Amino acid sequence: MKKIKRWEILTIGCLTRNKFWGEPKEEGVRECLATSSVICTGEANIVVDPSMDPESFGQVLFNRSGLRPGDIDLVYCTHLHGDHFAGIELFEKADWYMASGDCEVFKQDEDNRELLRKRMKPAGDFLIPDRVHTVFLPGHTPGLSGLLFQGPEGRVLASGDCIMTKDFFLNREGYYFDKDGEENRRSIEKAAQLAGIIIPGHGNYFISGAYR
Ligand SMILES: [Zn+2]
């Protein structure tokens, strides 16, 4: 895998409730926000999981990366949950991809806007050959796939909600509404073997190797 040029965190996500902070499972205590990132390979700029409404997300993109919506070539959604594609319509010129295992279900769900159902495409094994690979990490949803790439600092995995935050990684635990908790635990193990740096679904990035 060839090294990419740079990557940036756009939004640092959070959860409505975090059991590792002693918060109750029964009710949320804050608004949910997904973690979003941008991967600049040198050939293409990829936004992963656009997490805010288009107007707010455009400002965040510029603040955190210097890029404008027109600079983005691809958008990738790690799975079919709405907080991971909230800002996708900002990227009119880009190609829109979703994890292949979730994409068909997404396209058939009439709750999703027609434009999105039409334009969303299932990602293959590589988003960019030799640079950005998809990695199947089922459990949170049946078809979730993260993105793996060689950053300037080492191997990085954008895991989506397979790994919610650093605490969930350390405890090898999924979230309370995972479709299959045991399968997700295996996916977390797989993620731990693959990358030294993890961009989780709802927290800041962290060094996974230090905890092995
Ligand atoms: Zn999710």
| Cβ atoms < 10 Å from Cβ of 119 | 17
Q: In this structure, is residue 130 part of a structural domain?
A: yes
Q: What is the pLDDT of residue 25?
A: 87
For 87, 98, 188, 202, the CA distances from 124, given in Å and listed in that order, are: 22, 9, 21, 24
- 65-74 per-residue burial string, b: 16 or more CB within 10 A, e: under 16: bebebebbbb
Is residue 1 in a domain? no
pLDDT of residue 212: 44
Instruction: State in Å: Cα 13 to ligand 1 middle.
Output: 12
How many separate domains does the chain show? 1
Write the DSSP string, 27-47. Answer: S--S--B--EEEEE-SS-EEE
71 in any annotated domain: yes
How far is residue 142's CA from residue 53's CA, in Å, rounded to a whole number? 26
Distance of CA 34 from the midpoint of ligand 1 (Å): 8
- Whether 37 is covered by a domain: the verdict is yes
- Domain contains 58: yes
How far is Cα 67 from Cα 61, in angstroms, rounded to an integer?
A: 6
Q: What is the structure's pLDDT at 210?
A: 55
Distance 38 CA to ligand 1 centre (A): 19
Ligand 1 centre to CA of 4 (Å) is 27
User: What order of strands is seen across the sheet that includes strand 45-48?
Assistant: 6-11, 36-40, 45-48, 74-77, 95-98, 121-122
Residues 112 and 89: beta-carbon distance below 8 Å: no
CA of 182 to the centre of ligand 1 (A): 16
CATH number, position 67: 3.60.15.10
Interval between CA 81 and ligand 1 midpoint (Å):
5
Residues with Cβ within 8 Å of 63's Cβ and at least 6 positions away in sequence, in order, are none
Tell how far the Cα of 83 is from the centroid of ligand 1, in angstroms: 7
Strands (E), 15-173: 36-40, 45-48, 74-77, 95-98, 121-122, 126-128, 132-136, 145-151, 154-160
- How far does residue 162's CA lie from ligand 1's centre (Å)? 8
Domain limits at 127? 6-211
* Three-state DSSP state, 109: coil
Q: Is the pTM of this model over 0.85?
A: yes
Q: How far is the CA of 79 from the centre of ligand 1 (A)?
A: 7
Which residue stretches of the chain have pLDDT < 50? 212
Cα-to-centroid distance, 74 and ligand 1 (Å): 20
Q: Identify residues whose C-beta is under 5 A from ligand 1, the ion.
A: 81, 161
Q: How many angstroms does the Cα of residue 198 sit away from the middle of ligand 1?
A: 16
pLDDT of 51 reads 98
